[in-house]
Structure 1
Amino acid sequence: MKDHMKNPSGQALLAPSDIAKLGDVSAAAVSNWRKRANDFPAPAGGTDARPLFARDQVIAWMKANNKPMVGRASADAVAAANLVGDMFGGSAQAEDGARLVVTLLAARKLSTESTHDYPLWQAFLARANEDGFEALRQLGIEYELDRWDELVALPGWVDQIPPRISASVAEIVDNIATTDAAEAADSVLNRAISTRGRAGSEHGYIGSRVSTFLARISAQDARGVVYDPACGLGDVLMQIHDLAPDDAIEWMEAHDINTEAVMLADQRAFLRDAPLALNNVDVLSKDPFVDYPADLIVAEPPLGMKYDRFDLMDPRWVYGTPSPGSSEFAWIQHAVAHLAEGGVAYVVTAGGPLFRGGRDGEIRRRLIADGCVEAIYQLPGKLLQHLSIPVVVWVLRRPGSAESIRFVNSATDTVLGGRKVFESTNPNAEVSIDDVLAGDCNLVPERWIGLDTPDPTEVVENYTASLEEVQAAARSVSTISELQPVKGIESSRVVSVRELQEAGIIAIRMGRERPAGPNETPDPRRLSGRDVVHRDIGPVENDQSDSSDVTVPGEVVVATTGRLAAVLDESGGHTLGMGLVGLRVLSPQLRPDYLAAVVDGNWNRRFFTGATIQRISAKELEIPLLSLEDQEEFVRSAAHLQQVRALAQELLNSTSEALEHLAELARYASVTPQ
């Protein structure tokens, strides 16, 4: 670690996001506390853009103002890690601070479970202010506690931490309730790993959506021996342990090639009393689990990892030696090789192994032909932090178990009610092994889902009905009266919205209503930019709001963020969301319907600014000011053209649908309509 220190005061500091977790509130709520409460603590460190606040002052303020602290344990763990990490700086040091906190939590638990008259942890607290973490190292040697060397390995850099800061860190950890220790450890580790971005994924994440899906989909099969050959931080196993019925799991076995990951997984398991045996080993090079069958195997190995040290004589590669360009089929065959009778494995891979040819294709064909593949779950993209690629889950059995393969194409990673409910509530298909083998052994779910042959009679009926809709739409278009050109419009005078406001012709209101939070009921009166773009504005029922807070009938609502659009709110009674502007006409010189029709003209798009999110200042928008007579003529012509557009769109939609049904007729129908 670096020698320079950023926090020599020794105060435990919290970022605003940590305070939000402490109170189980949103970041916006913390921002409001800071702005509206004169007695909220001033920043004690950090920068103007990223302020940090003294933990003790924040807790005192929350107590004085009756703010609940449901996340106290997690916030304390983060504060202790920050106290260490901020001394040295950098995201890597933040992760070191998190590891130290987890180690201290494990040390305290070991101490409390010992039978010594004067527990080791209490002895450390008494000496920490004088000897720092060296006291804990020496006490570990003196007390000779079981598993101490395995769970409490203090790195050499802790000797750089002054004793008084060591004592502060120990005191904060001591305040964490033993029942909350596992949760606090998970929270501080996940926060530290997340701050490192993609580099933090080396050991995996805690509570990632893929890990959570894997645990929930497999928990119903958790019994006997549960095994993870690429455990990382052990997150899937920890979640399975928490979800499985009591006494269902006899033992959990886990392997990983990364020493630090194994250490952290061991500490996490110890803090939650999970029966986990861990080994730091390269399972692809040599099988450490020979003749040890498991009832449930879960694996979320590194995606696309290259590996070229496969032993050609290894009995696990019965379906073919894995390709050195990718290791997916090594993990899959390793799982199949270790399944007990009736056991099941869930292995996560990228999508390539479902369809790749060459050596991978031959291994896939043999696995399918031997009845090892029971199901394939296609999950949506962006479930992995810092990676947008979609992933799949292979559901595997012992050879000879599967006669068909269930394909599921899920738009969500949500698992409610277990595996059977997940399969039945998402697009799925069950395909015989013979059909899959005849289909080039392609396991991409989209290849098989939705291929049910429809009833030929229904195909004919759909085509006939779509033709009738086309004819009806065509008749509607034919009734359009002849378009009349706009009569001569006198020269218009171009004015800005700012000038109209200064002249008292319109009033401007800025939208400030935020979207509802995850636990809040959406306000049906609130308009968003999407509502304006799609002109989706309906009447508001039984509105009792102060008229100053809502739109009035005839108010023009303009979307100014991302896309310029305007709509006339004919009924009023709506509130304006962020990025919307209300233009309220105050003078008979300007028709509201005319203003709504021209304010989003193409010429105004040049006022957009911003590189990432483009915005327009409503006051800059230019309005061609016409006489009232010309405004009326303009509105009449615009309404006529909008009617034509709507009817033409209806004809286009019905024609497109008819073409689709015609194609289905050619593919499936056995008779031709007369």
Structure 2
Amino acid sequence: MNTTPRQALLAPSDIANLAGVSAAAVSNWRKRSEDFPEPAGGTATRPLFARNDVIAWLQANDKPVIELAASNAIAALNLAHETLPASSAAGLDIAARLVVTLCTVRKLSDPTDREYDLPLWWNFVGRVTHDGFAASSDLGNAYGIELWDQLIQVPEEADLLPRDAVDEIANLIEQIPVNELAAAADAVLARTVGAKGRAGSDHGYIGNGVSDFLAQITTQDARGVVYDPACGIGDVLTQLAGHDAARGSITRMVGHDVDPGSIVIARQRAFLRDEKVDLNVADVLAEDPAPGIEADLVVVDPPYGMPYDGYDVLDRRWTYGTPSKASSEFAWMQHAIAHLADEGVAYVVTPSGPLHRGGRDGQIRRSLIADGCVHAIYQLPRNLLRHVSIPLAVWALGRPGASVEVKFVVAESVKFTGSWPDFEKANPMAVVSIEDVLAGDANLVPDRWLGLDTPDPAGVANTYALAVDRIRAAGRDTESADLHPFAATGYTQVATIGELKDRGALEIRTAKTAKGDEDDPRRVTTRDIAAGRLDEPDTGVAPGMVSELPDARELTVPGDVLLSTLNQLAAVLDEFGGHILGAGVVGLRVRDPQLRPDYLAAVVDGRWNKRFFTGQAVQRVPVRDLEVPILTLADQEAFARAAADLRNIQRIAAQLQTAATDALASLAEIARYGIATDPDD
């Protein structure tokens, strides 16, 4: 397909964003609506549609149009990309830089609309459409804009665009409200990295899950001076500035990056948000560009696993050892620590290797831990980055002597609300003393330490005392427990459940699970029955009104015997009723007054009935074949009483075992950590 210049173009995904619907919805519109616009450009696999035609179709068909500003910027991006005679990836990058720059010129022009007869924007557009972008280089001086040269750097390749295409691109940007230019520019940058793949993420990108997480966890420490020595396009800094807008705790923000193009974009993004950030190009690892910075917060999300061999061995930043040439992670960490104020904290993102690697890295890691510089390690979920699946970690670092323990947190998700302490508590966490970490080969992999926290002495002593009290209480319960005898007659008649049903002595009730019953709190599972007790269900009505419920016929009643028939044979007496039978659960409802439900529940899961199980992977027992000894009513009562006594003793024994296990574990920790205890315990 050939595109006609002057047409603003949208891809199907852009149309979805414009209308606030899914990509599948747009696909359905294209297939089912004969009047949907035909592609006006692009290719067969990536069609592009004329923006004006799409908006007209949406409005004519009562579809929402909610992202006009972003769609204008994306349409400008598509048009520039389509008309640039460059390779796909390079052309897209040039197009994105051009559109973001035009957004910046548009905002710079806003005050000049009232101060000059010819507003800056009109002058700029007039020059570039007639004489090319180079003709606009002196406009900063003409309009007294000191930041012009830092902010307005148009790619040379932009002059390859046809003039009518430039005019249409400028027209699209002019339609974006000034207060929406920042969001529009970010939409363009987000689209660019998605199309460029991994190469587009080298210096950060919009929608970066790691940057988002880093900005969230560091907000609590964002005050005073904030420094990012590998800022890329400034995503973390701009997010922190946004979070701080209402508080005003940040007094200065500084960013460095080795890539000039990224610094320009970072400056443009900060300007579009009215954020004051000191951003400069610098190779931080080669030479410290600002030795005097003492930051209250340092954030670093550097290139991962990047080799570097330009270290100056005399550089005073390498207090804990000259970093390895094979990777630069410990260079970034030492640079961050060197720039911390006394109470400052640094957060550095690295792959998992530096957490456990040996050699020179291992020596530096051990020194950092021993000197109290490592506050915490946060293990991040995989796939936070679009094109990198390696596991990542965030190191929380401080000045020497700032910490006597290391906190390990495994972040199962990076999405959270509320305070940061609440997030930490909601995820697997351990707090371990520096001594224990060093004794563990200075290994900082969080999974290595989960469950191995350095215990609180008072907590250990209290746990031990409580466990001993529970042992003593269980002993007293055992001494006072009843144990009624059962006198067997020596003769027993046996009947199967099937025979009892055929006689009318009981009913067999099976599960009738409907859609949605799986999550019903009244549902009884085979696991519940194996546990040996049932809780009273929440039916939402008074006990006497259960029979009035719509599904009353499917509910159990007090006295029903519930039987697990899958893999494990077990039975329990339902004392409450109002339950729903789950999969593998059978209900026995006694109808004969000569058969006691409590006796049936106590005897039907006898070991002799386990011989009836059939099946391989999933074993089932046919309920009708189960055998029940038939006793007199008096003997059934005596049997049920004796069985209840034994179950009570079994419960006490389980409590005793748990208490003894807890006491033994606490006793070992008392010895290991030299914890003082009350001699009376």
Structure 1 residues 604-643: aligned runs within 5 Å: 640-641=614-615
When structure 1 is superposed on structure 2, of 321-330 and 126-135 the one drifting more is 126-135
Cα 1:189/1:646, change in 2 over 3 Å = farther
Secondary structure in 2 matching 1:429 = strand
Structure 1 residues 546-557: aligned runs within 5 Å: none
Cα 1:644/1:340, change in 2 over 3 Å = closer
Structure 1 residues 250-289: aligned runs within 5 Å: 250-289=251-290
Hey, what does 1:120 align to over in structure 2? 120
- One-letter amino acid matched to 1:152: I
Query: Quick one: distance in 1 between partners of 2:391 and 2:116?
Result: 52
Query: Quick one: distance in 2 between partners of 1:46 and 1:159?
Result: 22
Contact 1:133 1:158 in 2 (8 A): yes
**Of 608, 619, 640, the match for 1:645:** 619
Deviation (angstroms), 1:451: 2.5
When structure 1 is superposed on structure 2, of 59-68 and 125-134 the one drifting more is 125-134
Secondary structure in 1 matching 2:349 = strand
Deviation (angstroms), 1:449: 1.1
Query: Quick one: distance in 1 between partners of 2:212 and 2:239?
Result: 7
CA deviations on 1:120-151 (whole Å, 9 max, x unpaired) are: 10223455554454554464564452211111
Query: Quick one: distance in 2 between partners of 1:123 and 1:219?
Result: 41
Cα 1:334/1:6, change in 2 over 3 Å = farther
Query: Quick one: distance in 1 between partners of 2:163 and 2:74?
Result: 20
Contact 2:297 2:346 in 1 (8 A): yes
Structure 1 residues 159-174: aligned runs within 5 Å: 159-174=159-174
Hey, what does 1:226 align to over in structure 2? 226
2:54 counterpart of 1:62: no
Structure 1 residues 162-311: aligned runs within 5 Å: 162-244=162-244, 245-311=246-312
Secondary structure in 2 matching 1:278 = strand
Query: Quick one: distance in 2 between partners of 1:138 and 1:131?
Result: 13
Hey, what does 2:68 align to over in structure 1? 72
Structure 1: gaps (5+ residues): 462-478, 482-522, 528-637, 648-660
Contact 1:298 1:346 in 2 (8 A): yes
CA deviations on 1:568-616 (whole Å, 9 max, x unpaired) are: xxxxxxxxxxxxxxxxxxxxxxxxxxxxxxxxxxxxxxxxxxxxxxxxx
Cα 1:315/1:10, change in 2 over 3 Å = same
Contact 2:374 2:398 in 1 (8 A): yes
Cα 1:526/1:15, change in 2 over 3 Å = farther
Hey, what does 2:48 align to over in structure 1? 52
Cα 1:284/1:129, change in 2 over 3 Å = closer
Query: Quick one: distance in 2 between partners of 1:227 and 1:362?
Result: 27
Query: Quick one: distance in 1 between partners of 2:152 and 2:517?
Result: 55
2:107 counterpart of 1:109: yes
Cα 1:324/1:57, change in 2 over 3 Å = same
Query: Quick one: distance in 1 between partners of 2:230 and 2:205?
Result: 13
Hey, what does 1:439 align to over in structure 2? 440
Hey, what does 2:90 align to over in structure 1? 92
CA deviations on 1:454-474 (whole Å, 9 max, x unpaired) are: 97998999xxxxxxxxxxxxx
Residues matched between the structures, number: 499
- One-letter amino acid matched to 1:200: G
Deviation (angstroms), 1:58: 0.9
Hey, what does 2:417 align to over in structure 1? 416
Query: Quick one: distance in 2 between partners of 1:43 and 1:524?
Result: 44
Normalising by structure 1, we get a TM-score of 0.68
Contact 2:379 2:411 in 1 (8 A): yes
Hey, what does 1:628 align to over in structure 2? none
Hey, what does 1:31 align to over in structure 2? 27
Cα 1:366/1:38, change in 2 over 3 Å = same
Query: Quick one: distance in 2 between partners of 1:405 and 1:159?
Result: 55
Query: Quick one: distance in 2 between partners of 1:97 and 1:639?
Result: 71
Contact 2:432 2:452 in 1 (8 A): no
Deviation (angstroms), 1:343: 1.1
When structure 1 is superposed on structure 2, of 326-335 and 422-431 the one drifting more is 422-431
Hey, what does 1:633 align to over in structure 2? none
Deviation (angstroms), 1:642: 7.0
Secondary structure in 1 matching 2:432 = strand
Cα 1:396/1:646, change in 2 over 3 Å = farther
Secondary structure in 1 matching 2:145 = coil
Structure 1 residues 327-406: aligned runs within 5 Å: 327-406=328-407
Hey, what does 1:19 align to over in structure 2? 15
Secondary structure in 1 matching 2:192 = helix
Hey, what does 1:597 align to over in structure 2? none
Contact 1:76 1:173 in 2 (8 A): yes
Hey, what does 1:656 align to over in structure 2? none
Contact 1:125 1:171 in 2 (8 A): no
Query: Quick one: distance in 1 between partners of 2:666 and 2:119?
Result: 81
Secondary structure in 1 matching 2:317 = helix
Query: Quick one: distance in 2 between partners of 1:360 and 1:667?
Result: 39
Contact 2:3 2:40 in 1 (8 A): no
Cα 1:98/1:524, change in 2 over 3 Å = farther
Query: Quick one: distance in 1 between partners of 2:52 and 2:261?
Result: 32
CA deviations on 1:469-495 (whole Å, 9 max, x unpaired) are: xxxxxxxxxx9x9xxxxxxxxxxxxxx
Query: Quick one: distance in 2 between partners of 1:126 and 1:103?
Result: 16
Cα 1:205/1:199, change in 2 over 3 Å = same
Contact 2:467 2:663 in 1 (8 A): no
- One-letter amino acid matched to 1:93: G
Cα 1:670/1:243, change in 2 over 3 Å = closer
Contact 2:124 2:136 in 1 (8 A): yes
Contact 1:213 1:415 in 2 (8 A): no
Query: Quick one: distance in 2 between partners of 1:414 and 1:436?
Result: 29
Cα 1:37/1:150, change in 2 over 3 Å = same
Query: Quick one: distance in 2 between partners of 1:129 and 1:288?
Result: 40
Structure 2: gaps (5+ residues): 472-493, 497-513, 519-611, 622-657, 669-681
When structure 1 is superposed on structure 2, of 341-350 and 48-57 the one drifting more is 48-57
CA deviations on 1:327-374 (whole Å, 9 max, x unpaired) are: 111011111110112111111001111111121111111111111111
Deviation (angstroms), 1:224: 1.1
Cα 1:76/1:458, change in 2 over 3 Å = farther
Query: Quick one: distance in 1 between partners of 2:28 and 2:331?
Result: 53
Hey, what does 1:580 align to over in structure 2? none
Secondary structure in 2 matching 1:346 = strand
Deviation (angstroms), 1:72: 1.4
Deviation (angstroms), 1:68: 2.6
Hey, what does 1:322 align to over in structure 2? 323
Secondary structure in 2 matching 1:255 = strand
Query: Quick one: distance in 2 between partners of 1:251 and 1:123?
Result: 34
CA deviations on 1:534-565 (whole Å, 9 max, x unpaired) are: xxxxxxxxxxxxxxxxxxxxxxxxxxxxxxxx
Normalising by structure 2, we get a TM-score of 0.67
Secondary structure in 1 matching 2:299 = strand
Secondary structure in 2 matching 1:298 = strand
CA deviations on 1:140-184 (whole Å, 9 max, x unpaired) are: 564452211111112222222121111100000001111111111
Secondary structure in 2 matching 1:316 = coil
- One-letter amino acid matched to 2:36: F
Query: Quick one: distance in 2 between partners of 1:524 and 1:78?
Result: 45
When structure 1 is superposed on structure 2, of 49-58 and 275-284 the one drifting more is 49-58
Hey, what does 2:486 align to over in structure 1? none
Deviation (angstroms), 1:59: 1.5
Cα 1:646/1:14, change in 2 over 3 Å = farther
